[in-house]
């Protein structure tokens, strides 16, 4: 399982997604105040929530992505299912980028704040690329197995 390159790609994806739980996505800077956008809420630096705007959709999507990555790694014997899960995961990652952008700009536009994105905002892009590389390696393995079946 761990000797396959696609498993290593998926493990790196899992580590990056795990880091997204801890690192902030963006900072929203107002005159005299600074808000931090984490995976589940947008809060003042002292962890006071600004309003009813919590990022529940981002948190749910991040949990689904994490579970899907773990499931993709665990199903190493079912390559076609791994390919499907990888495609779904790439789509969900791009959706996560859209949600992060949406939440940060909704708050920024309503409060006239400046948005400063952090390194964790890049992680979904990197994870989508690594998922694509894993998808190609899984497809290559599947083609190799099918070619060996024809020889027999």
Q: Which structural domains are found in the chain, ordered by start?
A: 5-145 (1.20.140.150)
DSSP string, 130-142: HHHHHHHHHHHHH
Q: Which residues, 6+ apart, have CB-to-CB distance to 120 below 8 Å?
A: 19, 20, 23, 24, 25
Whether residue 20 has pLDDT greater than 80: yes
Q: What is the pLDDT of residue 143?
A: 84
Whether residue 39 has pLDDT greater than 50: yes
Q: Do the bridges between strand 41-44 and strand 49-54 make them parallel or antiparallel, or are there none, so unpaired?
A: antiparallel
Q: What is the pLDDT of residue 52?
A: 42
Whole-number Å distance between alpha carbons of 128 and 90: 5
* In 24-135, beta strands by DSSP E: 26-30, 33-37, 41-44, 49-54, 114-117
Q: What is the pLDDT of residue 35?
A: 80
Q: Which residues, 6+ apart, have CB-to-CB distance to 124 below 8 Å?
A: 20, 93, 94, 96, 97, 100
């Amino acid at each position: 399982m761990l000797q396959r390159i696609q498993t290593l790609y998926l493990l790196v994806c899992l580590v990056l997604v795990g880091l997204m739980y801890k690192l902030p996505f963006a900072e929203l800077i107002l005159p005299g105040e600074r808000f931090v956008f984490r995976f589940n809420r947008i809060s003042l630096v002292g962890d006071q929530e600004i309003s009813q705007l919590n990022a529940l959709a981002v948190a749910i999507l991040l949990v689904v992505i994490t579970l899907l990555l773990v499931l993709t790694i665990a199903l190493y014997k079912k390559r076609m299912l791994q390919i499907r899960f990888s495609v779904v995961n790439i789509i969900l990652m791009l959706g996560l980028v859209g949600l992060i952008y949406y939440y940060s700009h909704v708050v920024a536009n309503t409060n006239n704040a400046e948005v400063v994105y952090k390194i964790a905002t890049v992680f979904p892009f990197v994870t989508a690329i690594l998922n694509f590389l894993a998808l190609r390696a899984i497809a290559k393995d599947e083609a190799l197995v099918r070619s060996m079946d024809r020889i027999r």
